[in-house]
Amino acid sequence: MSHTPDAPGAGSDAPNLDFAGTTPYEDYVQADVLTHLQQPRSDDPGELVFLVTTQVMELWFTVIVHEWETAARALREDRVPRALDALKRSVRELEALNASWKPLGQLTPAQFNAYRSALGEGSGFQSAMYRRMEFLLGEKSASMLVPHRGAPRVHAELEKALQEPSLYDEALAFLARRGLPVPRTVLDRDPALRYEPSPEVEAVWAGIYADPDQNAELVRLGEALTDVGELVWRWRNDHLVATRRAMGAKTGTGGSAGVAWLEKRATKSVFPELWTARSHV
């Protein structure tokens, strides 16, 4: 006697394979769109790795911006647990973002040069979503909107991000509402300007950390922000090392200063008083 297996979905454990149109997975993930966005400009097989890795970075930038905007909004509403959840998620996402350097981190100059000319004037500093990340960290610069004047929607989003308080601005405003002596010069500063360290803010964080039992929730907030700052610093240093290996001290694509610019960025601390305050606890 022959045995005919149950058809998928007909009383068996097999998944449903028959759909009238595209699969529900495709409808949700848009995988067909994602996997056909790659348009290499050279015949070198290594270019696809560079292109896909860069696109993956852009997706992580998008998620991290979402998390930090969520955290900033939660702090504005005095919802610390919600802010902490978003910051903790962003830490895991930053770890995944930083791992994106692995496929590129050991490129030799010859391997990178095989397709570097295909990049033309394209450079990572032109990434609008990465710029929004930097703005949320307090690294504001109106000049960084200039490359996006030809893209009205992107330019408008960056202009909005430039004018809004950063994640750190919202954290300091929250501390002030908790009765801590954050100076008015910090609270009332123009949010479109780059954040500059304040001795008074350093003293506020030092006081919080000096009495962790009394300030348990604020210490958790400080540590969550410090985790973010550490991973951003690691991102910048991994970028620097990968660039050094691939192209040395040559001028970067798009006319950027390349390694010299990255070295300057790598020395900067994110949320600076959270680091310097530790010397006074």
Q: Is 239 known to sit in a ligand binding site?
A: yes
Q: Is residue 141 part of a domain?
A: yes
The average confidence (pLDDT) of the chain is 93
Q: Is residue 263 part of a domain?
A: yes
pLDDT band for position 119 (cuts 50, 70, 90)? confident
Residue 221 corresponds to which tokens in the numbers above? 């907030």
Which residues span the domain enclosing 241?
46-280
pLDDT digits (tens, 9 = 90+) for 88-100: 999 999 999 999 9
pLDDT over 90 at 268, yes or no: no
Per-residue pLDDT averaged across 245-252, rounded? Answer: 82
pLDDT of residue 235: 95
pLDDT band for position 203 (cuts 50, 70, 90)? very high
Please calculate the CA angle 201-265-124 and round it to the nearest 5 degrees: 125
Query: Residues 167, 182: contact at Cβ < 8 Å?
Result: no
The number of folded domains in the chain is 1
pLDDT over 50 at 242, yes or no: yes
Q: Is residue 236 part of a domain?
A: yes
Q: Is residue 33 part of a domain?
A: no
Q: Is 155 known to sit in a ligand binding site?
A: no
pLDDT band for position 13 (cuts 50, 70, 90)? confident
pLDDT of residue 191: 97
pLDDT of residue 4: 47
Q: Is residue 149 part of a domain?
A: yes
DSSP designation for 243: H
50 vs 53: CA distance, rounded Å:
5
**CATH classification of the domain holding 247:** 1.20.58.480
Q: Is 278 known to sit in a ligand binding site?
A: no
pLDDT over 90 at 237, yes or no: yes
* pTM for this prediction: 0.91
Q: Is residue 34 part of a domain?
A: no
Per-residue pLDDT averaged across 45-56, rounded? Answer: 96
Calculate the CA dihedral of residues 115, 120, 121, 122 and round it to 10 degrees.
-50
Per-residue pLDDT averaged across 237-252, rounded? Answer: 87
Q: Is residue 27 part of a domain?
A: no
pLDDT of residue 8: 52
How does DSSP assign 214-266, residue by residue?
TTHHHHHHHHHHHHHHHHHHHHHHHHHHHHHHHHTTSPPGGG--THHHHHHHH
Q: Is residue 24 part of a domain?
A: no
Per-residue pLDDT averaged across 194-220, rounded? Answer: 98
pLDDT over 80 at 251, yes or no: no
62 vs 56: CA distance, rounded Å:
10
pLDDT of residue 254: 62
